[in-house]
Amino acid sequence: MNDILELKWRLPLPDLLAQIGLGAHAKRSAPCPLHEDTNPSFSAFQTTRGWRFKCHAGCGEGDEIIFLEKWRGLSRGDAIRLYASLAFAPGAWGFDARPPRPGNTALGASCAVPSLGARGAVRISLPADAHEGDEHELRTLACLRRVSFWAVAAMKQLGTLRFGTVCGEPSWIVLDASLRSAEARRLDGKLYAQTTHLGERKVHTLRGSAKNWPVGLLPERELGAHFKRILLLEGSGDLVAGYHFALGTKGEWLPATLLGASVSRLHPEALELLRSRPVRIIPHCDPAGAQASERWTKELISAGCHGDVVSLQGLRKKDGSPLKDLNDATELHPGDADEFAQLLS
Ligand SMILES: [Zn+2]
C-alpha cells in the first residue's frame, strides 16, 4: 500500500493525464477521455484521499489506478504495473535511456568508420533534427501502426524511438539505445523516393547501422529484474507491435528486433545478453522469416541461449486473410484472440 501512495505522490492524476497525452482533461470540467464526449462530463479534483476523477455520464470515478484500468481496459494488477512504470519514467526501469543529443561532440564522429572495439561508442548517423517526439508525433505513429499510444510512449522512454527528417521526409526512427543500429520509415506511411543508389523503399537504414544488433535490446544492468524474457522479432514494424502486445502483460517481455530476415551472425555482445534470459522468436509468416528463425535459433543455441519459436501461422485478420507478421495482429480476428494470447503467455 505504501508503494501505491508513493506512486500517487510521484505521479498525481493531473501529471498522469499529461504524461499519457490527456493533459487537456486534467480540469474540474472537461470532455471525458473515457467515452466519446461532446459535453464536459469529466472532472479531475483533489480530495483528502488524493486526486480523483469522475465522469458524470457514467464512466465511473476513482483514483489514478482506476483511471488506467478504464482507459486501457486493464486488470487492477496490470494498471498498477503500468502506473508504476509511468511514475518512474523515463527512469521507469531504473535508468535513463536517452541517447546523446545530436550535435554532441560524440556525434561529430558519425561519419567515421565505426570502431568495433569501442563499447557504447556512437556509430549511427542520426538526422540533425532527431528528437524524442512530441505528443502529436507519438499519436500519428500510434495511429499509423494501429497500436496504443502507450506502446509508442514506452518505446520513446526506453530510447528505441526517435523522430526526424530522413531523405527529406518526416520519419520515425527505431534505434538501439546504444546507437548501434537504426532504421527510419516515413511518418505518412509512404515509400522513400528512389535515389541514384537506392530504389523506392519502405524502410531506410541509417548509415553506420550494425544490423546484427537486435534493436531494443538493453544492457544487462538495465534489463535488470524488470524484463524476464526477450521477444525477438523481425523489422521495425513488428517492434512497435511487440511493445503494443507485450508491455503490460504478465510475461515481462522486452521486445527487440533484427532489422531484416537476412541478418545472420548476431553480435557477440548481443548473444551474451540474450543468454541471460529465455528468448522467444516470432518470425514473419513467409519463407524468408522461416529461414531467418531457423538460422537465428541455431546461432542462439550454439551460443548457449535458450528459448523457443512460436508461429503466427493459422491466425487470421478480421477480414479472414492470414496474418503475415506480428503487426497484422493489430487487426486480429476476434475468433483467434485466445490462440494469439497464448503466444505471449
Ligand atoms: Zn465518460
Q: How far apart are CA 284 and CA 327, in angstroms?
A: 10
Distance 329 CA to ligand 1 centre (A): 28
pLDDT over 70 (residue 225): no
The whole-number average pLDDT for the span 21-48 is: 88
Distance 64 CA to ligand 1 centre (A): 15
The whole-number average pLDDT for the span 50-69 is: 92
- Report the predicted TM-score, pTM, of the whole model to 2 decimal places: 0.67
Higher-confidence residue of 153 and 59: namely 59
pLDDT digits (tens, 9 = 90+) for 110-132: 323 333 334 444 578 899 999 98
Q: What percent of the chain has pLDDT over 90?
A: 51
Distance 79 CA to ligand 1 centre (A): 18
320: left (phi over 0), alpha (psi -120 to 50) or beta: left
Q: How far apart are CA 102 and CA 150, in angstroms?
A: 25
CA dist list (Å): 317 to 13, 65, 221, 312, 332: 37, 32, 38, 11, 4
pLDDT over 60 (residue 81): yes
Q: According to the model, what pLDDT value does residue 100 have?
A: 37
Q: According to the model, what pLDDT value does residue 50 have?
A: 66
pLDDT digits (tens, 9 = 90+) for 179-209: 888 999 999 999 999 988 889 999 999 988 8
pLDDT, the chain, mean: 84
Distance 40 CA to ligand 1 centre (A): 9
Distance of CA 299 to the CA centre of its chain: 25
Distance 29 CA to ligand 1 centre (A): 12
Distance 149 CA to ligand 1 centre (A): 19
Distance of CA 22 to the CA centre of its chain: 19
Amino acid of residue 245 = F
Using a 10 angstrom Cβ sphere, with 0-12 exposed, 13-18 middle and 19 or more buried, the burial of residue 10 is middle
For residue 48, what pLDDT band results from cuts at 50, 70 and 90?
low
Q: Which of 91, 246, 96, 99 is nearest to 182 (CA)?
A: 99
Distance 14 CA to ligand 1 centre (A): 17
For residue 49, what pLDDT band results from cuts at 50, 70 and 90?
low
Higher-confidence residue of 59 and 260: namely 59
Distance 39 CA to ligand 1 centre (A): 10
Distance 220 CA to ligand 1 centre (A): 42
Which pairing describes strands 229-234 and 279-281: parallel, antiparallel, or unpaired?
parallel
Distance 319 CA to ligand 1 centre (A): 31
Grouping H, G, I as helix, E, B as strand and the rest as coil, residue 145 is helix
C-alpha cell belonging to residue 46: 483533489
Distance 15 CA to ligand 1 centre (A): 19
249: left (phi over 0), alpha (psi -120 to 50) or beta: beta
Distance 13 CA to ligand 1 centre (A): 16
pLDDT over 70 (residue 170): yes
Angle between helices 135-145 and 149-157 (to 10 degrees): 120
Distance 264 CA to ligand 1 centre (A): 50
Q: What domains sit in the chain, N to C, each tagged with a CATH number?
A: 2-87 (3.90.580.10), 95-111+122-345 (3.40.1360.10)
**Angle, CA 143 vertex, CA 140 and CA 148 arms, to 5°:** 110
The whole-number average pLDDT for the span 71-88 is: 88
pLDDT over 80 (residue 73): yes
Among 63-67, 87-91, 147-151, where is mean pLDDT lowest?
A: 87-91
The whole-number average pLDDT for the span 2-11 is: 74
Distance 18 CA to ligand 1 centre (A): 18
Distance 75 CA to ligand 1 centre (A): 19
Q: According to the model, what pLDDT value does residue 248 have?
A: 62
CB 46 within 8 A of CB 8: no
Q: According to the model, what pLDDT value does residue 99 have?
A: 38
Distance 42 CA to ligand 1 centre (A): 6
Among 48-52, 177-181, 230-234, where is mean pLDDT lowest?
A: 48-52
pLDDT digits (tens, 9 = 90+) for 263-309: 888 999 899 999 989 999 999 999 999 999 999 999 999 999 999 99
For residue 2, what pLDDT band results from cuts at 50, 70 and 90?
low
Alpha helices, DSSP H, located in 163-235: 220-223
Could you tell me the maximum CA-CA distance found in the chain, to the nearest angstrom?
66
CA dist list (Å): 261 to 68, 172, 257: 37, 21, 10
Q: How far apart are CA 69 and CA 66, in angstroms?
A: 5
The DSSP string of 304-342 is: T--EEE---TT-BBTTSPBP-SGGGGGGB-GGGHHHHHH
Specify the DSSP element, H or E, that contains 198. Answer: none
Using a 10 angstrom Cβ sphere, with 0-12 exposed, 13-18 middle and 19 or more buried, the burial of residue 225 is exposed
Q: What percent of the chain has pLDDT over 70?
A: 86
Distance 3 CA to ligand 1 centre (A): 28
Q: According to the model, what pLDDT value does residue 47 have?
A: 67
Distance 132 CA to ligand 1 centre (A): 31
Q: How far apart are CA 228 and CA 250, in angstroms?
A: 10
Specify the DSSP element, H or E, that contains 179. Answer: none
Distance 74 CA to ligand 1 centre (A): 16
